[in-house]
Structure 1
Amino acid sequence: MASHSRHTLHHLRTAVNRQPDRFVTNVYTRMFAIDPDLRDLFGVSMAAQQIAFHRVIDHVLEAIPAESGHADLVEFLAQLGRDHRKFGVEPEHYHVMYTALMGEFASLMEGYWDEEAQQTVSQAMMLVTGVMRGAAETATHPARWTAEVVEKYRISRDLAVVRLIAHAPLTFNVGQYLEVHIPQWPKQWRNFSPSIPPNPAGELEFHVRAIQGGTVSSAIVSETSVGDVWTLSQSHGTLHVDRDRPVLMVAGGTGLAPLRALLIEMSKRADSPPTHIFYGMRYPGELYDLSVLRRIAATNPWLQVTAVSEEERDPWWITAVATPAELGIDHEIGTLADVVVGAGNWEDHQVLIAGSAQMIEATRRKLIIAGVRASRIQHDPVY
């Protein structure tokens, strides 16, 4: 790419990031003015969608002028195109997006928007919309699946387990997460990790904690009932276990789900590597799945389980089914990051971390400081 073209895209990125909320709002306003029916594809609240849209445009304007990484950008855009099928986006809608973007870019760069700038930005946006459209049109798997809730039970006041049966075979790998929306909040998509491996029966299990201010998670815990039909879309994530190196797993709360699924899958193999999982919560009574981990460890000598809690005792409102001591599981007090780093040398291990963004960042940082290579640490995207 010529230096002038790079300069144009850098300048445009700066202009976009000067007032990102206004930029995104204006683009969507232009899109809905061109095709008012597009508004029906999105939920009542578009806050999360607008944040994601800005991230994509910012990434594109950074990646296209870069010297390398173009293959990764194309794959990113292709996945984005496949993902957008779940909203009901059709091929003709990409021209609407292109037109709205070009109109807003011209407005942002008033005074700098000459023929050469217009051509540079046009080529960049044609790349974006073209790759997305092409990937969507050539995708071989369905845009959506449905699954029916067959069992739901609450473990505590803010935690529930939901089991479903899919109406058609699902396509995902063990350890991945799925995009989900529920009938109580249609068009509001959230990511949840199945806690069991994919199977021919289409059985799914999700562990969901109601987070403060979380409309979807709160509705699942309090309102989901047997017979509800959930809609599921694309699978994402690359958590996996290589068999040539010992494994360290760190699970915080419902972040246990994808690691639990991996452990169940590993228990079916004869060549699973030595694995140590640290499973933590604030209170010991919140470690709701310790008994399952104990059962897996009882028949798989390669697995070692350590329970971690920040507090030594439960408050009055938590009643534990069984304490770590009663289950014969080692119990350490402290944060997951501190306990894991203090428990040994993990330099030769592959590391999988799942849980809250704060826990993932803290644990990853301390492990790297302790000598673990960043390239050996896996976790899902942190937002």
Structure 2
Amino acid sequence: MGNLSRLLKESWTLVEEQQDKVAGYFYARMFLSNPHLRELFPVHMDVQRARLLGAIVTAVQTIDDPERFDEYLRSLGRDHRKFRVEPEHYNVVRDALLEAFRTFAGEQWSIEYDQAWIDAYDLIARKMLSGAADDPNPPFWHAQVITHERRSRDIAVFTCRPLQYPLDYRAGQYVSVEVPRYQPRLWRTYSMANAPNEDNLMEFHVRALGAGWVSSALVRRIQPGDLLRLAAPMGSMTLDRKSTRDIVCVAGGTGLAPIKAIIDELTRYNRTRWVHVFYGARDRDDLYDLEALNQLAAHYPWLTIVPACSDDPGFPGEHGNVSEVVGRYGPWNDHDFFVSGSSQMVKATLRTLAELQVPSMRIKYDAFGDS
């Protein structure tokens, strides 16, 4: 596996700086050779192109870690059932992908690189197909919107309920969401903000982003009674019930959702683990769920909430980026960490924790958002 990994990473550097062009060429080749595949994809392909390359890079980077590699690809295979992917489509994708790599790598592309990607892709396809075949659930669930509440200028909190039967997930995980009425075949990932419950209700926190087709529909257009589609749950930012360590949660903006789900799970059994939640936003209006968090803290003595604003001089709490604020507290030598927010916020927090010498194996994180 070592030589294969070396060839994959080495060859990827030949096209890495031309990712957008590679993706555009790949889709053009695929749709040209199989025009019927175009109807499986959304009208807007900009984010879809980026996601393809994200999946490729993740697969390449995890091939040296068999357990993570296997888990990621099996989950990806289950998730891709929502696109109505059939086994024969995998060969079409492989051929188009290789042609794109050959075209943009030019004369530097070698027979060894070609064979390495064929071997790797066939391994990836087998694991994804196995994950899809082993999943007894439907490709997606139809869910009805039950409540919808605007919490700020661009944030909404809504609940929905799957119609067929319960969607089994763990607190801290996320699902892909489609709004078929407004943006058919366009899926975006969002974390559940509650642990599974007897009512089978699922809560989501969404911020409408500038170019976010799905996020804008979820914040500004859907109403109670509308139907959504939810794909299979993914993600490993979940509680280890065997751990006895205290917990620190760091949430930025709507990255609070999976953190709140983890707190919800803890309220059902925790008696011994102290939990600190650092909740950051630009200003107090973006701390859209602070009241609910404070109510939880008043009810559960083991829970402490530390709000912070980065751009609100009059805010009575902590000031600065939440990644900086968590560094002012501690020590955190023996804690489990959960980090969720934008990719920039997560990276900044991971840097802070590295400076504090928090072992990486104790940190679980999720870059939350509409991209």
Structure-1-length-normalised TM-score = 0.85
Match of 2:349 in 1: 363
Match of 2:47 in 1: 48
After superposition, the Cα gap between the structure-2 partners of 1:114 and 1:16, relative to the gap in structure 1 and judged at 3 Å, is closer
Matched, 1:246 2:246: yes
Match of 1:306 in 2: 306
- Give 1:174 shift: 0.9
| Residue type at the aligned position of 2:349 | T
Q: Does structure 2 retain, via aligned residues, the 8 Å contact 1:91–1:137?
A: no
| Residue type at the aligned position of 1:169 | P
Matched, 1:338 2:336: no
Q: Matches of 2:62 and 2:150 in 1, distance apart?
A: 45
Q: Matches of 1:62 and 1:304 in 2, distance apart?
A: 37
**More RCO (CA 8 Å, sep 6+):** 2
What is the DSSP-based 3-state SS (H/G/I as helix, E as strand, rest coil) of the residue aligned with 1:207?
Answer: strand
Q: Does structure 2 retain, via aligned residues, the 8 Å contact 1:253–1:287?
A: yes
Match of 2:172 in 1: 175
Q: Matches of 1:71 and 1:195 in 2, distance apart?
A: 28
Q: Does structure 2 retain, via aligned residues, the 8 Å contact 1:169–1:200?
A: no
Match of 2:135 in 1: 139
Matched, 1:23 2:19: no
Q: Matches of 2:161 and 2:144 in 1, distance apart?
A: 5
Give identity over the alignment, percent. 37
- Give 1:270 shift: 4.4
After superposition, the Cα gap between the structure-2 partners of 1:58 and 1:372, relative to the gap in structure 1 and judged at 3 Å, is closer
After superposition, the Cα gap between the structure-2 partners of 1:309 and 1:123, relative to the gap in structure 1 and judged at 3 Å, is closer
- Give 1:304 shift: 1.5
| Residue type at the aligned position of 2:121 | M
Q: Does structure 2 retain, via aligned residues, the 8 Å contact 1:352–1:379?
A: yes
Choose 1 or 2 for highest CA Rg: 1
**Correspondence 1:1-383 to 2 at 5 A:** 9=8, 12-17=11-16, 19-60=18-59, 68-105=64-101, 107=103, 119-167=115-163, 168-182=165-179, 183-242=181-240, 243-310=243-310, 311-313=312-314, 331-381=317-367
Tell me the alpha carbon deviations over residues 310-334 of structure 1, each in whole angstroms, 9 at most, x when there is no partner.
32437xxxxxxxxx7xxxxxx3233
- Give 1:296 shift: 1.6
Match of 1:319 in 2: none
Q: Matches of 1:306 and 1:62 in 2, distance apart?
A: 35
Q: Matches of 1:265 and 1:116 in 2, distance apart?
A: 49
| Residue type at the aligned position of 1:44 | V
Tell me the alpha carbon deviations over residues 50-91 of structure 1, each in whole angstroms, 9 at most, x when there is no partner.
122223334555666xxx424433333222222211111111
Q: Matches of 2:17 and 2:293 in 1, distance apart?
A: 49
What is the DSSP-based 3-state SS (H/G/I as helix, E as strand, rest coil) of the residue aligned with 1:191?
Answer: strand
- Give 1:124 shift: 3.0
User: Which sections of structure 1, spanning at least 5 residues, go unmatched?
Assistant: 315-323, 325-330
Q: Does structure 2 retain, via aligned residues, the 8 Å contact 1:266–1:272?
A: no
Structure-2-length-normalised TM-score = 0.87
- Give 1:230 shift: 0.7
After superposition, the Cα gap between the structure-2 partners of 1:345 and 1:58, relative to the gap in structure 1 and judged at 3 Å, is closer
Tell me the alpha carbon deviations over residues 89-145 of structure 1, each in whole angstroms, 9 at most, x when there is no partner.
111211222332344455557667887765554333322323322332332222201
- Give 1:369 shift: 1.0
After superposition, the Cα gap between the structure-2 partners of 1:269 and 1:32, relative to the gap in structure 1 and judged at 3 Å, is same
After superposition, the Cα gap between the structure-2 partners of 1:148 and 1:375, relative to the gap in structure 1 and judged at 3 Å, is same
Q: Does structure 2 retain, via aligned residues, the 8 Å contact 1:245–1:350?
A: yes
| Residue type at the aligned position of 1:122 | I
- Give 1:173 shift: 0.3
| Residue type at the aligned position of 1:191 | T
After superposition, the Cα gap between the structure-2 partners of 1:92 and 1:272, relative to the gap in structure 1 and judged at 3 Å, is farther
- Give 1:176 shift: 1.0
- Give 1:47 shift: 1.8
- Give 1:42 shift: 0.6
- Which shifted more, 175-184 or 281-290? 281-290
User: Which sections of structure 2, spanning at least 5 residues, go unmatched?
Assistant: none
Q: Does structure 1 retain, via aligned residues, the 8 Å contact 2:172–2:191?
A: yes
- Give 1:380 shift: 1.0
| Residue type at the aligned position of 1:193 | S
What is the DSSP-based 3-state SS (H/G/I as helix, E as strand, rest coil) of the residue aligned with 2:55?
Answer: helix
- Give 1:158 shift: 1.4
